Chain A
Amino acid sequence: MEFRKETLDNGLEVIAECAPNAYSAALGFFVKTGSRDESDANHGVSHFLEHMAFKGTATRSTADVNRELDEIGSHSNAFTSEEQTVYFAAFLPEYHDRALELLSDILRPALRQADFDTEKLVILEEIAKYEDTPPFGAHEKCMAAHFGTHPLGRSVQGTAESVGRLTRGQMMDYFRQRYSPRNIVLVAAGNVDFARLVSGAQQYCGGWEPFDVRRETPRAGAHRSLEVFHQPVAVQQYVIQITNGPALEDEDRYAGRLLATVLGDDSGSRMFWELVDSGLAESASMGACEYQGAGILMTHLACAPEDTADNFARLQEILAEAEADGLTEAELTQAKSKIRSYIVLQSERPVNRLFAVGGNWIARRQYRTVRETIASYERVTCDDVAAVLRKYPVTVNTTVAVGPLRDADQILAATGGNESESGILNRQY
């Protein structure tokens, strides 16, 4: 494996982790833009624009783009998050040139009105699908409650109303403000010839007009509230809790992830033994997400409505106990072993390395080998985790419950906590 990097005159960075013996190659354009870069007026535009990239360019129709992506046998797709929009393809090495030309072309989409109108229907269908699927929007509602007016409070997909209002003109404006070569990285992994990649990038992307792009990255304040949204259609009750955690530029993010693994991994964690293995809950887990300037630890609980109060109380005990006493050496060792194995297994596919290498570069402008990443986890001590718990107390959190229950009392009945401390709201939809 060899890491290579080159910057074109217009500022487009080209990076690659070359593995000449790999069976496949993967390419991706990582655009540093997402829902946090939107406003109320264009909420949902990043994700909608990602869909529009596949709807044709100056020289290709929608059908051309779809047909050619299939002709090279590629596994191609795109996704949008709060902070990134990524267009990628995994393919056999002989298709490298065609894949690069095609992906480069769709990064300059035509944004035709008729395609815009049809694709808006697809996006509205996608939003309807998520509203009907567990946890019934609880994730977005909890992010909104936790972050408030902070840019991370805005959901990736937007709402049916905000997407319904979007115009093609707004999308073009957004494109002209965000899709600068200075704000995009071309990433490759696997069996790629770097010199060929750079000369192709020069040919297809060298003419992209550069301009400056900014992003606001305020820190998020701690927040404590509980909101209950009545969703009569749901059978189970879904509860999400968010607490602040390390941001993606913070060195203690490895400790944050190990903490989440010990407390809330799908298997073998404290939440697993207390709530899932016992059959008290359908699921109970915790994960860490890092963003620029902010990070979160997010806990999910799904269970029968009538068991929610007891399970919620047990969950709060797990959090309080961790905050008071930290983790044990044995737990930390087990979590490290799990994470190490996961990273090694993941790294066998070039397309997975693409996301690891690209994600790290766009976030930190840093390249790390698999070994270096593993070493960062290995170095974490119980004291480091205790420090994270002091800095980000897990009992200070934002809670959103969605499901058959109507009142905050039905969630809090078994906690014995002081409700007046929480900003309690009941909502119905």
Chain B
Amino acid sequence: MDWLESAAFSLLVVAGCSRDPAGRLGLANLTCEMAQRGCGSRDSRQFVSDLELLGADTSASVSTVHCSYGGAMPAESLLETLAIYADLVRRPHLPPDQLDDARQVCIQEIRAIEDELAQKAFLELRRLQYGDPFGRSSPGTIEGVESVSEADLARFFADTYRPNGAILSVAGKFDWRRLLDHAGRLLADWIAGDAPPWQDTPAAERVVHLPQESSQTHIGIGYASIPYSHPDYYEARAAIGVLSDGMSSRLFTEVRENRGLCYAVQASCHSLRDRGSVLCYAGTTTERAQETLEVVLAELIRLGRGIAQDELDRLKAKLKSSLIMQQESSPSRSYSIAADWYHLGRVQTVDEVRAIIDGLSCDRINAYLESHPPRDFRLVTLGEKPLELPVGIS
């Protein structure tokens, strides 16, 4: 992407919250916080100030599978920034005298979610959809974070910050050969570890109501779908696009425009490596929540009956625009190639994805919907009153 002045990277290690041991929920998140408190020759303050002087706009987050570090910066700062992050994943100080501060930071994060009701409802929906450990929320629990010891942290780091399964992606303006040499010097002698298999337990409940004093009711609806790596993924994604992408989408039209039921309503595809789901959210005032739930469910059922050509045409225009505009942003391209590598084991070029979008047809999408109609819904409501699932819908 030589037309840009920037470069961006994503560095993923298989150190997500699905690796949290029982009784230590939140350990992955705490390790991520601690890893950023000094590494290599830098202490905590030096780490932050060096990155800021390099102009690196950085981020760190923990998902169920990965801990992801990333940054975007002026192109000339890329190699130096990568050297700092190689230190972070290989030689963090994990300073014992900062463990309590870091623990407090993580507890603040858990407390903050208590006030973010839409997010709280959504996290509960993910738990229902994926069970344990893939439906976990990365901040974990206050008890879990409080019980983490120095030894827990050291063990978690030693077990999970390893090159097997780790992904480094770079996009933007850079010289491939120099980058490769540099990454080789930084990471080639990183020693692989063991990755034990996950123990997968589905959630017992399908419907959950979280009582909450609030003027709004938050509704989450989920159902199983196919993962990103599935050959029909783009058919599944297009169907959800018709449901939710853009102002002429079915949910926006029926829930917001025609009925004025809520301000925010949306559905999206979510994917793990071996399974996927569709997750929907609507937030509305309590007295209108039952009607909102019924309208959203009716739209999900109707989607199973197929989509129309004009809906697909609009969606294609939107998907193609987004794809091309991704070329204007090194961080968004870097993120997407890391995701491709994890899910597919290879990177799809922009031209390849464009050809897939062009090739989408109503017939194939409708055939997909016929064999995979939205059903077996999971439901989370958060608000003053529980809602009723309409008759005939499970």
Given A128-B215, A282-B112, A337-B52, residue A342 in contact with residue B57 (CB < 8 A): yes
Chain B binding surface SS class: helix
Name the segment of B130-138, B162-170, B320-328 touching the other chain. B320-328
Contact (Cβ within 8 A) A134 B55: no
CA distance in complex: A235, B259 (Å) = 33
Q: Interface residues of B, CB < 8 Å — how many?
A: 74
Interface: A321 (CB within 8 A): no
* Complex alpha-carbon distance, A338 and B104, angstroms: 27
Whether B328 lies near A349 (C-beta < 8 A) is: yes
Q: Contact check, A121 vs B260: say whether CB atoms are below 8 A apart.
A: yes
- Give Cα A281 to B109, complex, Å: 10
A79 interface contact, C-beta 8 A: no
What residue in chain A is nearest B310 (Cβ atoms)?
A: A67
Residue contact A92 to B52, C-beta cutoff 8 Å: no
**Least Cβ distance of A200 to chain B in Å?**
20
Contact in complex: B257, A66 (CB < 8 Å): yes
Interface stretch (choices B114-122, B151-159, B181-189, B370-378): B114-122
Which A residues are CB-close (under 8 A) to B103?
A: 279
Chain B 305-333, CB within 8 Å of chain A: the 1/0 string?
A: 00000000111111111101101111000
Chain A residues with CB below 8 A from B194, complex form: none
Given A91-B321, A134-B116, A235-B115, A126 and B104 contact (CB-CB distance below 8 Å): no
Kindly list chain B residues whose C-beta atoms are within 8 Å of the C-beta of A75: 321-322, 325
Contact with B along A299-320 (1 / 0, CB 8 A): 0001110000000000000000
8 Å CB interface, B216-267 against A: 216, 245-249, 252-253, 256-264
A129 near B247 with CB under 8 A, answer no
Chain A residues closer than 8 Å to B56, beta-carbon distance = 341
Is A125 an interface residue, CB under 8 A from the partner? yes
**A129-B116 Cα distance, complex, nearest whole Å:** 11
Whether B73 and A341, one on each chain, are in contact in the complex, defined by CB atoms closer than 8 angstroms, is yes
A276, B112: Cα distance in complex, Å = 13
Distance A136 CA – B262 CA, assembled complex (angstroms): 19
Q: State the CA gap A174–B46 with chains docked (Å).
A: 54
Q: Is the CB of B49 within 8 A of A268?
A: yes
Contact yes or no, A278 B101, CB < 8 A: yes
Q: In the complex, are the beta carbons of A23 and B263 less than 8 A apart? A: no
Mask, B49-87, CB within 8 Å of A = 1, is: 100111111000000000000001110000000000000
Q: Are A24 and B325 in contact (CB under 8 A)?
A: yes
Q: Is A118 a contact partner of B260 (Cβ separation < 8 A)?
A: yes
A128: chain B residues within 8 A (beta carbon): 215-216, 285
Cβ of A199: which chain B residues have Cβ within 8 Å of it? none
Q: Would you give the shortest CB distance from B76 to chain A, in whole angstroms?
A: 11
| Residue B3 lies at the interface, judged by CB distance under 8 Å to chain A | yes
Q: How many contacts between A and B, using CB within 8 angstroms?
A: 178
Contacts of B117 in A (CB 8 A): 132-133
Contacts of A304 in B (CB 8 A): 108, 111
A71 within 8 A of B: yes
Question: What separation, in Å, do the CA atoms of A409 and B80 have in the docked complex?
Answer: 49
- Asked if A73 CB lies within 8 Å of chain B CBs, one says yes
Which B residues are in CB contact (< 8 Å) with A133?
Answer: 115-118
Residues on A with C-beta less than 8 A from B324 are 23-24, 92
Chain A positions 155 through 183: 1 when the CB is less than 8 Å from some CB of chain B, otherwise 0: 00000000000000000000000000000
Set B102, B109, B246: member contacting A70, Cβ < 8 A: B246
Q: Are B104 and A279 in contact (CB under 8 A)?
A: yes
The smallest beta-carbon distance between A325 and chain B, in angstroms, is 19
Asked if B284 is at the interface of the complex by the 8 Å CB criterion, the answer is: yes
Q: How far is the CB of B244 from chain A (nearest CB, A)?
A: 12
Instruction: Please judge, given known A-B contacts A69-B248, A73-B318, whether A279 and B107 are in contact too, CB under 8 Å.
Output: yes
Q: Is A194 an interface residue (CB 8 A)?
A: no
Instruction: Select the residue from A74, A279, A340, A344 with max chain B CB neighbours within 10 A.
Output: A279
Please give the distance in Å from B42's CB to the nearest CB on chain A. Answer: 13
Asked if A236 is an interface residue, CB under 8 A from chain B, the answer is: yes
Q: Whole-angstrom distance between the alpha carbons of A125 and B218 in the complex?
A: 12
A209 within 8 A of B: no
- The chain A residue sitting closest to B383, CB to CB, is A132
- CB pair B262 A125 closer than 8 Å: yes
Indicate if the CB atoms of B6 and A345 lie closer than 8 Å.
yes
By CB atoms of chain B within 10 A, which of A273, A348, A349 has the most?
A: A348
A412 within 8 A of B: no
Residue B358 CB within 8 A of the other chain: no
Q: Give every chain B residue within 8 A of A246 (Cβ-Cβ).
A: none
Q: What 0/1 readout, one digit per residue, does chain A (64-86) give for beta carbons within 8 Å of chain B?
A: 01110111111110000000000
Contact partner, B216, options A129, A281, A303, A334, Cβ 8 Å: A129
Contact B246 A63 (CB under 8 A): no
| B214: interface (CB < 8 Å) | yes
A66 touches B252 (CB 8 A): yes
| B319 and chain A: residue at smallest CB distance | A73
B48: min CB distance to chain A, Å: 5
A201 in contact (CB, < 8 A): no
Please give, as numbers and ranges, the residues of chain A lying within 8 Å of B104 by CB-CB distance: 278-280
Task: Check if B247 sits within 8 Å of A69, measured CB to CB.
Answer: yes
Alpha-carbon gap, A65 to B55, bound state (A):
41
Shortest distance in angstroms between A306's beta carbon and chain B's nearest beta carbon? 11
A9 within 8 A of B: no
The residue on B at minimum CB distance from A117 is B260
**Taking CB as reference atom, which chain B residue is nearest A72?**
B317
CB under 8 Å from chain B, chain A span 102-140: 118-122, 124-126, 128-129, 131-134, 136
**A350 and B74 contact, CB distance less than 8 A:** no
Taking the closest CB of chain B, its distance from the CB of A402, in whole angstroms, is 11
- The answer, yes or no, to whether B178 is at the interface (CB within 8 Å) is no
A81 to B56, CA, bound (A): 30
What chain B residues lie within 8 Å of A203 (beta carbons)?
none
Q: List the 8 closest A-B pairs by CB distance, nearest first.
A: A279-B104, A341-B55, A121-B260, A73-B317, A73-B321, A66-B247, A235-B114, A282-B108
- Interface residues of chain B, those whose CB is within 8 Å of chain A, are 3-6, 44-45, 48-49, 52-57, 72-74, 100-109, 111-112, 114-118, 213-216, 245-249, 252-253, 256-264, 283-285, 288, 313-322, 324-325, 327-330
Starting from the known contacts A66-B253, A69-B248, A125-B288, 19 additional A-B residue pairs (CB-CB under 8 Å) come to: A24-B325, A66-B257, A67-B314, A69-B247, A70-B249, A71-B317, A73-B320, A121-B261, A125-B285, A129-B263, A132-B117, A134-B116, A234-B115, A235-B114, A267-B52, A279-B104, A282-B111, A341-B57, A350-B328
